[in-house]
Structure 1
Amino acid sequence: MIKVDNLSYSFPQKDLYNNISFTLEDGDHCAFIGTNGSGKSTLIDIILDPENYMFEGKLEIDPNCRIGYVSQFSELDKIEDTTVFQYIGEKFIKLQNEITSICSEMETSADIDYLLEKYQQALDAFDAINGADFENSINKKLNLANLMRYKDLMISDLSGGEFKLVQVIKEMLNSPELIIMDEPDVFLDFENLNALKNLINSHKGIMLIITHNRYLLNNCFNKILHLENMELQEFNGSYIDYNFSLLQTKIELQELAIADDEEIKRNEILINKLRVIATENSESAKGKSLNARVKIQERLEKRRIKAPFVDIKQPNITLVTNNEIEETIALKVNDYNAHFDDILLENVNFEIKSTDKVALVGSNGTGKTTLIQEIFKNNHDAIEINEDIEVAYLSQLQGNTINESNTIFEEFLAAGFKTYEEIKAYISRYDFEEEIINQKIGSLSGGEKNILQLAKVSASQANLLLLDEPTSHLDTYSQIALEKAIKDYKGAILMISHDFYSIVNCMDYVLIIENKTVRKMSMRKFRKMIYAGHFDKNYLEIEEKKKLVERKIELALKNSDFTLAKALSEELEELIKLLLISQKSREFAN
């Protein structure tokens, strides 16, 4: 259906791809992954509108291929208000009305041949999207996404997450041969994320989906495209298998690299000896021996292993505070209430200690962002922040905390940095290269903007961080780096998140919004609640063992103990088989 052959593309300030190739065929549900800013969204833009891009190489798409597209931006505010059913069925209803209109026109028109041709074209288009059964199809998809109760609701009454699912359903029901989605999971709560998983797995056509969500990656895809360092790797298989394949490759390549290094060192010692001999002895044979050995060294250097998908760029995210205080109450909320048209939150009471790492969770639209914004403003009688506490805020709406019309240089000057060199040194820790310091922030990817927000938050050196969906748009490597930074942070954190991997990996406990109020939940109970709803009962235990073995392999590689690394790799392979069995068991149960 789609073939990309030796495609190269560059921006004026950055090379994105160098001779990348891949194919998408019937049955492919493909996850498109890669570090932030590697050009995933741009490649999708090229596929959708190749005429607008000056690229080298070939892009072959069937000219009759119908492509459905779901943007990472919901644009809910731009949609004309209509019911959920009418929005999803827009194309069907339009064709249905057109067919009815043509039939009415044929009753009085003399040009029956033209109308018959027009009628047949409309009927063919209606049949191509299974129009005869469209109401039943809409109902099935709404049931699958657990949205049937919203069928007659106005689109404007949906949360952002609910609307995202409705967008996905609409594109699927228009029967495209290919559906492309750019981070459809961003900001989805747990239930909506599970609904998205079900929708993806139910679809019969080709799918190309940019995602960094570990739940979707582990449960939805049979093909991986990994874009990294201007190159692309194509893998037929699951994400879990792909990660295992990468780890095996890393073991093999590191073993070969060490052997190469040792051979190069031995050869270098020999070259140095031959140089001394050649200097002292002018015999031509000695010079020829030296030249021959230098050529061998050049060949050894050239054959050094190149592994763009093994040593993957991971930002060094840090969260620091220079104002550590003894354990005390950092934040207290007493009888907080929030009202809009209806009561959003009422009788909310909780307190957070100065070293607590707390996740604020709840369904889309339950008031999490409203609450965290009120805490940041700190002008509500029900909210009390310790006078020794300094607060920093990361917004899910990135434009609220960074000025996208600024360059990175201008943004950090405004944040209190003094010189170009100081800014360059600071942002380089977060893997921003010097050449983009004078680039407009608005031109960065969503993940890069979030990392920039994290860099600004850390620079504030506050001791209470309010983080609203900090993992959104971040690639999986950056998510892991952020989790480590959160665990190492010496202050307090209140974090809104729907990423249960991050919550489980680095939070102390959970504040969950239910029935318009907040209650505290231990991490043990939270794990039990989430995994009961999303995984087989053995999944968590197997995944924890898998992580432990992976850490042991990393340590073995660090110590160049390849015998141990290979033995642990076999143990890991058995755990992965159990993990996949656990997944299939869950799918069968559902």
Structure 2
Amino acid sequence: MIKVENLSFSFPQKELYTNISFTLEEGQHCAFIGTSGSGKSTLIDILMDPERYLFEGKLEIDPTCKIGHVSQFSQLDKTKETTVFEYIGEEFITLQNEITAICTEMETSTDLDSLLEKYQFTLDAFDSMGGADFESNMNKKLNLANLMKLKDVKVSDLSGGEFKLIQVMKEMLSHPDLIIMDEPDVFLDFENLNALKHLINSHKGMLLVVTHNRYLLNHCFNKIIHLENTEIQEFDGRYIDYNFSLLQTKMELQEIAVAEQEEIERYDNIIDNLRAIATYNSEASRGRALKARVRFQERLEARRIKAPFVDIKQPTINFGIDHEMEDTVVVNVNNYRVAFDELLLDNVNFEIKSTDKVAIIGPNGTGKTTLLRDIFINNQASIEINADVKVAYLSQNQGEVLTDSNTILEEFIDAGFQTYDEVRSYLSNYGFEGEIVNQKIASLSGGEKNMLQLAKVAASKANVLLLDEPTSHLDIYTQIALEKAIVDYNGAILMISHDFYSVVNGMDYVLIIDDKTIRKMSMRKFRQMIYASHFDRDYLEKEQNKKALEMKIELALKDTNFELAKVLVEELEEQIKLL
């Protein structure tokens, strides 16, 4: 349906794609992955409206291909008083009303030929979107997502996560040939994320989904398109198999690289000897031999395999502390209450100690973000912060922490850095190198903005971190780096997250919202709750075993112990079969 051949495109300050090629075919559920800022959203814009962009190469889209789109930045229209049924069925209801109006007009009109033509045209459009079964199909989608209770609710009363799912349903029910979704999972709570998984897996048409969510990646897709360093790679199969293939390739490339380096060093020695001989023996044959050896060495260097998808640089996130504290209470919440149009939280009581790592868990719209922001602002009698505490805050609303009109350099000068060189050196650990530091923050991707927030949090050297959805928009490499930074951190963390992996891999316990208050839950009980709703039994343990094997393989490769790495890869392959 869609074929891209040798497509190249760049902005004045950044090259995005160099001769990339890929196809999208019927029946494919394709995950579109890549590090933050690599150009995924721009490529989607090109597919949606190629006439707006001056690119080189070929983009062939079947003229009959109808494309649906779920935007990354969709907003609720609070002015519309439509119900969920009316919103999802807008096109269906419009066509149904047109057909009724045409039939009514035909009862009195003398120009039946033109009305019959109009009637047939409208009826064909109605049939193409499954009009006869539309309401039945919509009910099935709502039931699949466990949202049937919302059918007659006003769209303006939905949470952001519920509205995202309703958008997905609306696009699916209009029966496009391809639906493109740009990070539809961002900020979805556990239940809504599971609903999105069910909707994706039940869809019969083509999907192209930008996502960094490991739960969706591991459970929803049969093709991977990976964009990195201006190049693209296609892989037919599951994401977990793609990762395994990357690891195998990395091992092969490192083994080849070590052998090639030894060969290059051997020829370096030969060339050095020939040069030494040439200083006292000027025979032409000696000069020709030297030139031949140099040319051979150059060819060997040129043949060295470059693998932009195999060896992606992971950022270095380090949450250091200026002042470590003994085992003492750093945050005390006593009888906290929050209400807007309705009561969200009441009689909330908990305390956080100086090294506790705690996740706040609960559905969308239950007051989690408001609670975290109130702790940061600290102007309520129900919240007490230890006098020795320094707090850093990462906001779900990036504009709370970052100033869009600043350049990246200006943002960190405002944060207390003394010189631009100091900022450049610091930010290189977070993947911001070269001219990008002169860009306005408004021009950055969501992932890049969240990475800047993490860099500011780390630079603060605070001993209490308040993190509101820190993994949102982050690519997988950065998510894993963040998990490591959390494990290594010696202070307290209070984190809102809907990412299973971050919670299970980094938290000591969870605070779960239940019946408008908060109760403490052990990690063991949290795992049991997650298994009951989302995973097969012991899935997360199997995932942890897989991760542990991958780390052992990385260490073996670092030591160039290829024999051990190969044995571990065989073990990993068996572990993957269990997932």
Q: What interval of TM-score do these two structures reach, taking the shorter chain for normalisation?
A: over 0.9
Alpha-carbon distance between aligned partners in 1 of 2:292 and 2:410, rounded to the nearest angstrom: 55
1:396 partner letter: Q
1:346-495 matches, cutoff 5 A = 346-495=346-495
Deviations 1:140-197 (A, max 9, x none): 0000000001110111111110110000000000000000000000000111100000
Gap regions ≥5 residues in structure 2: none
1:60 partner letter: E
2:195 paired with 1:195: yes
Distance apart, 1:391 and its partner CA: 1.2
Alpha-carbon distance between aligned partners in 1 of 2:323 and 2:81, rounded to the nearest angstrom: 49
State whether residues 88 and 166 of structure 2, in contact with CA within 8 Å, keep that contact through their aligned partners in structure 1: yes
Deviations 1:99-137 (A, max 9, x none): 111111112222211111111111000000000111101
Q: Which residue of structure 2 lines up, in the alignment, with residue 532 of structure 1?
A: 532
State whether residues 392 and 466 of structure 2, in contact with CA within 8 Å, keep that contact through their aligned partners in structure 1: yes
Gap regions ≥5 residues in structure 1: 580-590
Distance apart, 1:79 and its partner CA: 6.4
Q: Which residue of structure 2 lines up, in the alignment, with residue 65 of structure 1?
A: 65
1:284-299 matches, cutoff 5 A = 284-299=284-299
Q: Which residue of structure 1 lines up, in the alignment, with residue 315 of structure 2?
A: 315
Alpha-carbon distance between aligned partners in 1 of 2:233 and 2:78, rounded to the nearest angstrom: 37
2:83 partner letter: T
1:37 partner letter: G
Alpha-carbon distance between aligned partners in 2 of 1:236 and 1:443, rounded to the nearest angstrom: 33
State whether residues 70 and 180 of structure 1, in contact with CA within 8 Å, keep that contact through their aligned partners in structure 2: yes
1:474 partner letter: L
Secondary structure of the corresponding residue to residue 312 of structure 1: coil
Q: Which residue of structure 2 lines up, in the alignment, with residue 237 of structure 1?
A: 237
State whether residues 95 and 126 of structure 1, in contact with CA within 8 Å, keep that contact through their aligned partners in structure 2: yes
Distance apart, 1:535 and its partner CA: 1.2
Secondary structure of the corresponding residue to residue 6 of structure 1: strand
Q: Which residue of structure 1 lines up, in the alignment, with residue 549 of structure 2?
A: 549
Distance apart, 1:480 and its partner CA: 0.5
2:334 partner letter: N
Alpha-carbon distance between aligned partners in 2 of 1:146 and 1:386, rounded to the nearest angstrom: 43
Secondary structure of the corresponding residue to residue 429 of structure 1: helix
2:320 paired with 1:301: no
Alpha-carbon distance between aligned partners in 1 of 2:154 and 2:307, rounded to the nearest angstrom: 51
Q: Which residue of structure 1 lines up, in the alignment, with residue 101 of structure 2?
A: 101
Distance apart, 1:544 and its partner CA: 2.2
Q: TM-score, normalised by structure 1?
A: 0.97
How many corresponding residue pairs? 579
Secondary structure of the corresponding residue to residue 7 of structure 1: strand
Alpha-carbon distance between aligned partners in 1 of 2:566 and 2:199, rounded to the nearest angstrom: 38
Secondary structure of the corresponding residue to residue 315 of structure 2: coil
Q: Which residue of structure 2 lines up, in the alignment, with residue 585 of structure 1?
A: none
Alpha-carbon distance between aligned partners in 1 of 2:472 and 2:79, rounded to the nearest angstrom: 24
2:347 partner letter: N
Alpha-carbon distance between aligned partners in 2 of 1:568 and 1:499, rounded to the nearest angstrom: 28
Alpha-carbon distance between aligned partners in 1 of 2:550 and 2:420, rounded to the nearest angstrom: 40
State whether residues 74 and 160 of structure 1, in contact with CA within 8 Å, keep that contact through their aligned partners in structure 2: no
State whether residues 471 and 499 of structure 1, in contact with CA within 8 Å, keep that contact through their aligned partners in structure 2: yes
Q: Which residue of structure 1 lines up, in the alignment, with residue 38 of structure 2?
A: 38
Deviations 1:456-515 (A, max 9, x none): 112222211111001000000000011111111221110000001001111111111111
Alpha-carbon distance between aligned partners in 2 of 1:256 and 1:111, rounded to the nearest angstrom: 78
Q: Which residue of structure 2 lines up, in the alignment, with residue 56 of structure 1?
A: 56
Alpha-carbon distance between aligned partners in 1 of 2:313 and 2:163, rounded to the nearest angstrom: 34
Distance apart, 1:81 and its partner CA: 2.5
My pick for the range that moved more, 149-158 or 406-415, is 406-415
1:422 partner letter: E
2:155 partner letter: I
Alpha-carbon distance between aligned partners in 1 of 2:531 and 2:537, rounded to the nearest angstrom: 7
Distance apart, 1:532 and its partner CA: 2.5
Alpha-carbon distance between aligned partners in 1 of 2:572 and 2:492, rounded to the nearest angstrom: 35
Secondary structure of the corresponding residue to residue 578 of structure 2: helix
State whether residues 407 and 439 of structure 2, in contact with CA within 8 Å, keep that contact through their aligned partners in structure 1: yes
1:423 partner letter: V
Q: Which residue of structure 1 lines up, in the alignment, with residue 521 of structure 2?
A: 521
Distance apart, 1:374 and its partner CA: 0.9
Q: Which residue of structure 1 lines up, in the alignment, with residue 247 of structure 2?
A: 247
1:127 partner letter: D
Q: TM-score, normalised by structure 2?
A: 0.99
Alpha-carbon distance between aligned partners in 2 of 1:419 and 1:109, rounded to the nearest angstrom: 79
Distance apart, 1:445 and its partner CA: 0.5
Distance apart, 1:78 and its partner CA: 5.7
My pick for the range that moved more, 101-110 or 241-250, is 101-110
1:578 partner letter: L
State whether residues 72 and 184 of structure 2, in contact with CA within 8 Å, keep that contact through their aligned partners in structure 1: yes
The share of aligned pairs that are identical, in percent, is 72
Secondary structure of the corresponding residue to residue 396 of structure 2: coil
1:294 partner letter: V
1:191 partner letter: E
Alpha-carbon distance between aligned partners in 2 of 1:496 and 1:206, rounded to the nearest angstrom: 33
State whether residues 35 and 313 of structure 1, in contact with CA within 8 Å, keep that contact through their aligned partners in structure 2: no
Secondary structure of the corresponding residue to residue 320 of structure 1: coil
Secondary structure of the corresponding residue to residue 406 of structure 2: coil
Alpha-carbon distance between aligned partners in 1 of 2:315 and 2:396, rounded to the nearest angstrom: 20
Q: Which residue of structure 1 lines up, in the alignment, with residue 149 of structure 2?
A: 149
Alpha-carbon distance between aligned partners in 2 of 1:313 and 1:544, rounded to the nearest angstrom: 22
State whether residues 409 and 437 of structure 1, in contact with CA within 8 Å, keep that contact through their aligned partners in structure 2: yes
Alpha-carbon distance between aligned partners in 1 of 2:339 and 2:44, rounded to the nearest angstrom: 41
Secondary structure of the corresponding residue to residue 63 of structure 1: coil
Distance apart, 1:351 and its partner CA: 0.1
1:434 partner letter: G
Q: Which residue of structure 2 lines up, in the alignment, with residue 277 of structure 1?
A: 277
1:149 partner letter: K
Alpha-carbon distance between aligned partners in 1 of 2:208 and 2:225, rounded to the nearest angstrom: 9
Q: Which residue of structure 2 lines up, in the alignment, with residue 171 of structure 1?
A: 171
Alpha-carbon distance between aligned partners in 1 of 2:143 and 2:67, rounded to the nearest angstrom: 24
Alpha-carbon distance between aligned partners in 1 of 2:337 and 2:79, rounded to the nearest angstrom: 31
State whether residues 403 and 441 of structure 2, in contact with CA within 8 Å, keep that contact through their aligned partners in structure 1: yes
State whether residues 78 and 156 of structure 2, in contact with CA within 8 Å, keep that contact through their aligned partners in structure 1: no
Distance apart, 1:571 and its partner CA: 1.1
Alpha-carbon distance between aligned partners in 2 of 1:79 and 1:435, rounded to the nearest angstrom: 42
RMSD, aligned α-carbons? 1.0
Alpha-carbon distance between aligned partners in 1 of 2:552 and 2:466, rounded to the nearest angstrom: 34
Alpha-carbon distance between aligned partners in 2 of 1:395 and 1:548, rounded to the nearest angstrom: 31
